[in-house]
Amino acid sequence: MTRINPQQIRKDFPILDQQINGRPLIYLDNAATSQTPRQVVEASTHYYESINANIHRAAHKLAREATTAHEAARTTIASHLHAAHDHEIIFTSGTTDSINLVSNTLTLSGKISSGDTVIISGLEHHSNIVPWQMLCQGTGATLKVIPVLDDGSLDMDAYHQLLNNNVKLVAVSHVSNALGTINPVQEIIDAAKKQNALVLIDGAQAAPHLKIDVQELGCDFYAFSGHKIYGPTGIGALYGLEPILNDLPPWKGGGEMIKEVTFEHTTYNDLPFKYEAGTPDIEGAIALATAIDYMNSLGMENIAAHEKSLQQRATAGLVELPGIQLYGTAEHKAAVVSFLIDGIHPYDIGTLLDQMGVAVRTGHHCCQPLMARFGITGTVRASFAAYNTEEEVDLFVEAVKKSIMMLS
């Protein structure tokens, strides 16, 4: 394992070289959106300056080049996830879009009906709650939830008790966006498969930090977003196992997802185009693949080790401060620290930190049921990336300390 040099990495991120209220920016809101390196910006610019054209349609040179670049991006993503086939990668607008694709196609398919069960966890982002509520409302299925323990980990004994042959789908996050908990997804998948249930993994928060092998995991679907892995917003991908994608119906109709259209009948296209109606985000796909190449150039294991060090350093510093309550203390965590200060609203802490140049997230983090589980309305969340430094962590802890003194 090679120790990464965040100071060297920061040279690729011009946005970090600025001041907020006269202080150097310390960007610790990476779980919401990571920053984008020059290499990704240049890939976007190159597309629009050199090969901007629609794909899979025209015979001219630009169209051929754009098509080649777009499909090369699909190959990059398939390789990164270790998918068996490129056509198991569906381009979407992000994790939310990917989950909705699966929930809507399952609803349309009739494979889930009254008497069936869908299992999610108490750690889920709203994007992995609401689509399944909608599916259950439309099909008559029942939604059940894996409880969360006091340390922010899942109650796996309860999960195993929920499983039976009525369970048709398990949909859980790989990593909690609010607490940083790394869920035991291998155990979750293996147990679900014994009941012949489908499994979807929300990988939005895992993709920036962990090496993912969908064949080794054995999941049926894996979703992630570009803007959390140093890529652009509005682009993401869904991995789906080939026989399952072939078996499910399309969700959106339009151009590209068809083979032949008459007024009497339409024949749908093969994978992956069956699920990619209309002109795709061509530039976004190319930039997303560039972001993945960028992460792999640093090394996923190296990124994870660096971020773990930052998370542990921040935790050690925060616990020394008066009135600190940490949320999410599970043994296996990604690069997130979530906390409250006794008697102080998280928004007030976040506002003062911003005045000191520190960008964090405050609120319920689109996880209101999880916040309710702990009897709170939200937390302060600091989340780390490859370009963050130990000095930034120390300055963050000092800024929290100053905020406590000012608000106490």
pTM for the complete prediction? 0.97
Return the closest-CA partner of residue 257 out of 56, 64, 63. 56
CA distance 97 to 103: 10
Question: What is the reported pLDDT for 58?
Answer: 81
* φ/ψ (deg, to 5) at 338: -120, 130
Low-confidence stretches of the chain (pLDDT beneath 70): 1
CA distance 192 to 219: 10
Question: What is the reported pLDDT for 124?
Answer: 98
102-153 tens-digit pLDDT: 999 999 999 999 999 999 999 999 999 999 999 999 999 999 999 999 999 9
- The distance from CA 276 to its chain's CA centroid, rounded to whole angstroms, is 20
Question: What is the reported pLDDT for 1?
Answer: 65
Catalytic, out of 136, 219, 366, 367: 366
Token digits for 85?
């086939």
**Three-state DSSP class for residue 83:** coil
Render 256-316 in DSSP notation, one character per residue: SSEEEE-SS-EEEPPTTGGG--SS--HHHHHHHHHHHHHHHHH-HHHHHHHHHHHHHHHHH
Q: Which domains does the chain have, with CATH numbers?
A: 6-30+299-407 (3.90.1150.10), 40-297 (3.40.640.10)
Mark whether 366 is an active-site residue: yes
Token digits for 58?
């025209």
Question: What is the reported pLDDT for 408?
Answer: 84
Return the closest-CA partner of residue 17 out of 32, 37, 3. 37
346-357 tens-digit pLDDT: 999 999 999 999
